[in-house]
Structure 1
Amino acid sequence: MKAFSLLSICVVIVLANSHIDAFTRNDFPEDFLFGAGTSAYQWEGAVDEDGRTPSVWDGFSPFDNMDNGDIACDGYHKYKKDVKLMAEMGLEAFRFSISWSRLIPNGRGPINPKGLQFYKNLIKELLTHGIEPHLTLYHYDLPQALEDEYGGWINHKIIEDFTAFADVCFREFGDDVKLWTTINEANIFAIGAYSEGILPPGHCSTSSSRYVKCSTGNSSTEPYIVGHNILLAHASASNLYRLKYKSKQRGSIGLCIYTYGLFPYTNSKEDEVATQRAKDFYFGWLLKPLVFGDYPDVMKRVVGTRLPVFSEEESEQVRGSSDFIGVIHYTTLYVTESKPSPSILPSNQDFSTDMGVETISIGNTVPWGFEGVLEYLKQSFNNPPIYILENGFATKHDSTLQDTARVEYIQSYIGAMLNAIRNGSDTRGYFYWSMIDLYELLAGYRVSFGLYYVNFSDDGLKRSPKLSASWYTGFLNGTVDVSPLDITQQQSHFSGSSSL
């Protein structure tokens, strides 16, 4: 299950009288990219083959009876077959991630030639079929060697090692890769791995996590330390790319965050303030330093000395270090002010209690919430270039190929994105999650998002196209025209909503 299920802290966007007109692929800018995505641990398998060493995901299981990604979709061996499926579907771009421990088994030092060759072969196969590679450097899978040596992302040393890893990738793949994401879902990674303990390395204060029992960690400080190191590592890699590679390779590099649609539950001043605070914690935490050079004032006030401070030099390095913002979006929620518990001591504070809101889910398909996210980013962060790096619909994993609900989801969200673009959002690409059924990081093989069904019980892991794959194919090749859609009908059930 994707990260939106990690935390129940979010808000909802109500765009009054919002409507999606009929549209086709041709209504988008000519250079707009439509693609789909996967990540290394979820797709590749082959965890102990050809020199790959363990990452923090290997052996990590926050919940009982979890599966693992040892085999996953076996993309390591079946990449040519999968690229052929992408080409048949008409994908214009494919987002994937590098397994750091496959490329550099010790986390630093010698490159693994077989790992290097795999990614070169994959990129070549994509380009041969006219598919643009979008490469993510880090998707939650730190080499275990670095975690064991110095604690990974909680240690400032990670900045140097991440930059060296990025340097190898830029040098080896950069002539063929024009779109780079440094760190996936940076905000959710810091929260999930270091406040809630449900992502590796599974740190949290024992009294803080509502999901798992952690043996180590400090939920009141570590998420903010990790967030700070993420920003500095991203800026270091980005600045290296600009100094050493960009003039020749002419690519773009950005940081990726998870975005909830966040909207006040009522028209009360308290809920409006709570909603803005939630946006500052979720969006502003990482985006305000990237755009303006410092953390939001409300975070500095609430978190206090637990929030790291940028030096003047660090602020300059971080500000402007993203050519684009990678946006991941699945769900929209209402936000209301939470009532603080008198039992919460300062030592028991975590990201959730610091934010001080409660949230209410409003269903799986809320395209107007997605449109609202793009509008908020446009208004609040100087209308940055945006790539939608994940957006998708989860269903129980079974052999049913008639995934009508997924088709309805995709077309309504693409339509909402087009509305935002027509309203001035500088959104430049859309990557559906996921290209095929994967090992989902928090749900194993029980749920799936894929356009292609994978039979995980079959030795050959047979792939079969779902109705959604056929729909996406038709949309991309121009044979599917999307009819006008009413995306406001769900709102009538929620009288306590307010517009932006």
Structure 2
Amino acid sequence: MSFPNEFLWGSSISAFQAEGARLEDSRGLSVADLRSDEGRIRLDIADTSIAVDFYHKYKDDIKLMKECGLKSFRFSISWSRIFPQGNGRVNQKGVDYYNDLIDELILNDIAPIVTLMHFDLPQSLIEQYQGFLSRKCISDFVDYAKFCFEQFGDRVRYWLTINEQDVLTGIPFFNGLDSKKESAQADHHMNIANALVMKLYHDMGLNGKIGPCLSYPTRYPASLDPADQFLAMHLDDLSIFSRVDILMYGEYPKYFLNDLKNKDLMFTIEEGDEELLKGANPDFLAVNWYTSEVVGQYVDEESFGNYKGPDIPRKNRSEKGVAQYYKNPFTKYGSYEWNIDGIGLRYALRKIYSRYHLPLMITENGYSAKEEVKDGHVHDDERIEYLSNMITNMSLAIEDGVELFSYNPWSFIDILSSSQGMDKRYGLVFVDRTNHDCKDLQRIKKESFYWYQKCIQNNGNA
């Protein structure tokens, strides 16, 4: 395996899915809390009030990270734990918590990788001015970021701005909004906020690096039909590369703006916005990668000409008038219909690196399943198969010339899923609770924990 000696082997979680204690120590509510309340009512799943109680159990969880051999840990700060209203009054108890968490990680030789916003905009900002739909949110996000840099920047060397902005834009209610039109305007404001925060970080002269975090499912065309080939490329450009292009070059790609205009989603650009977008200069790119997808032209009542689609299994997923999704018969699928495709990860890493020539960090990558404890053990052989496949292809990508410097699979401990609650598990460590019974939240090391421990000890060779 071709991993540098200083490679950061780690893992990851997010605040709203792990911390719990959502109204404890003066924390304010976030949009993620309200989404989870809706999920509790509509889907009968657990909510964020307790999650897996990382807020109280972080020291014990960090001991497990140390035992596993982690060199890095990617987590997010809950904006509303620092600023309960999103702006104004600082909650010192929240500041103390993150100071203690960061200090504990460093004490155990684990590098903190911090995300400023991971799907949990303070709900108060929605109530004040509709969140990122308003330009006011730009300055509030910059102020929040500046505060975090000042408080934690002496110890945190790696910062991520907004997690999966492409997902936030595609699912408006994740950002507390109601429509794609609103979401497009919020996306513009987040682009400005991203750029301003990166420029601020560099201007402060801190000894670290900052970058965006993008979600990238590798897309394969469903057939040799040129329209399918173009569609796969076009969807990649719209959802992934357009936002990185904006940060890298300080301007919107013309195809991106034309697509919004064609869909009547074009946002308002104010005088001076173009200048605000310039000069972000991210230091690295963070990638959340789980699976590959097969896309073809839409094939229902709005099919294109005589196109009927390839002779491979269709998935239930489709985008009306845009794309039909298929299952890849050459890859293995898990219980939640995501496949194991390490070559797809290598493909993505090569493609991103060759386009931007920036160092890459993997901030999420994992296998989900329904699991239970049997005789004190959790046997998760398919997760081990998944991780092994990914790490082999990461090594090949490095041999290709990709500058990959950290791997943080999702997730270290089982955490709350937005749509399946505690049924859907990603962790290397089992958390003993269900959607309806918190039990004692005992941590139980899965077989994958020991596999990953050996992998880290041997720098990629498990």
Where on the TM-score scale, by shorter chain, does this alignment land: which range? 0.7 to 0.9
DSSP-derived class of the 1:36 partner: strand
Instruction: In structure 2, give the amino acid aligned to 1:378.
Output: Y
Determine if the alignment matches structure 1 residue 365 to structure 2 residue 340. Answer: yes
Answer with 457-466 or 171-180: which moved more: 457-466
- Which residue of the partner structure matches residue 118 of structure 1? 97
Instruction: In structure 1, give the amino acid aligned to 2:99.
Output: K
How many Å separate the matches in 2 of 1:480 and 1:149?
Answer: 48
Task: Report if the CA contact (8 A) 1:294-1:310 is conserved.
Answer: no
How many Å separate the matches in 1 of 2:396 and 2:194?
Answer: 31
Higher relative contact order (CA 8 A, sep 6+): 1
Question: What CA deviation, in whole Å up to 9, does each residue of 1:370-406 have, x standing for no partner?
Answer: 1111121123x32222111000000114225110110
Offset at 1:358?
Answer: 2.2
Answer with 51-60 or 251-260: which moved more: 51-60
Offset at 1:442?
Answer: 2.1
Structure 1 residues 408 and 342: CA distance shift in structure 2, 3 A = closer
Question: What CA deviation, in whole Å up to 9, does each residue of 1:445-483 have, x standing for no partner?
Answer: 11100000010145431101001000110111129835x
- Which residue of the partner structure matches residue 281 of structure 1? 238
Task: Report if the CA contact (8 A) 2:162-2:213 is conserved.
Answer: yes
Task: Report if the CA contact (8 A) 2:5-2:459 is conserved.
Answer: no
Task: Report if the CA contact (8 A) 1:42-1:439 is conserved.
Answer: yes
Instruction: In structure 2, give the amino acid aligned to 1:356.
Output: V
Instruction: In structure 2, give the amino acid aligned to 1:238.
Output: M
Return 5+ residue gaps in structure 2 as ranges: 304-317, 334-338
Structure 1 residues 358 and 46: CA distance shift in structure 2, 3 A = same
Match of residue 22, structure 2, among 47, 57, 82: 47
Structure 1 residues 110 and 336: CA distance shift in structure 2, 3 A = same
Answer with 152-161 or 360-369: which moved more: 360-369
Return 5+ residue gaps in structure 1 as ranges: 1-22, 204-216, 344-351, 483-500
How many Å separate the matches in 1 of 2:327 and 2:197?
Answer: 37
Match of residue 448, structure 2, among 468, 472, 478: 468
Structure 1 residues 309 and 109: CA distance shift in structure 2, 3 A = closer
Structure 1 residues 407 and 353: CA distance shift in structure 2, 3 A = closer
Instruction: In structure 2, give the amino acid aligned to 1:371.
Output: R
The TM-score, its normalising length taken from structure 2, stands at 0.87
Question: What CA deviation, in whole Å up to 9, does each residue of 1:112-164 have, x standing for no partner?
Answer: 11111010000000000000000111011111111101001211111000001
Offset at 1:335?
Answer: 1.6
The TM-score, its normalising length taken from structure 1, stands at 0.81
Task: Report if the CA contact (8 A) 2:391-2:460 is conserved.
Answer: no
Determine if the alignment matches structure 1 residue 396 to structure 2 residue 356. Answer: no
Offset at 1:28?
Answer: 0.6
Give the RMSD, CA atoms, in angstroms.
2.1
- Which residue of the partner structure matches residue 218 of structure 1? 179
Match of residue 152, structure 1, among 125, 131, 135: 131
Map 1:193-342; keep pairs closer than 5 Å.
194=172, 197=173, 199=174, 201=176, 203=177, 217-219=178-180, 221-244=181-204, 247=205, 249-304=206-261, 306-308=265-267, 313-321=272-280, 322-338=282-298
DSSP-derived class of the 1:443 partner: coil
DSSP-derived class of the 2:33 partner: coil
- Which residue of the partner structure matches residue 186 of structure 1? 165
How many Å separate the matches in 1 of 2:248 and 2:201?
Answer: 18
Offset at 1:293?
Answer: 2.6
How many Å separate the matches in 1 of 2:390 and 2:4?
Answer: 17
Match of residue 174, structure 1, among 153, 157, 177: 153
Task: Report if the CA contact (8 A) 1:137-1:166 is conserved.
Answer: yes
How many Å separate the matches in 1 of 2:388 and 2:22?
Answer: 36
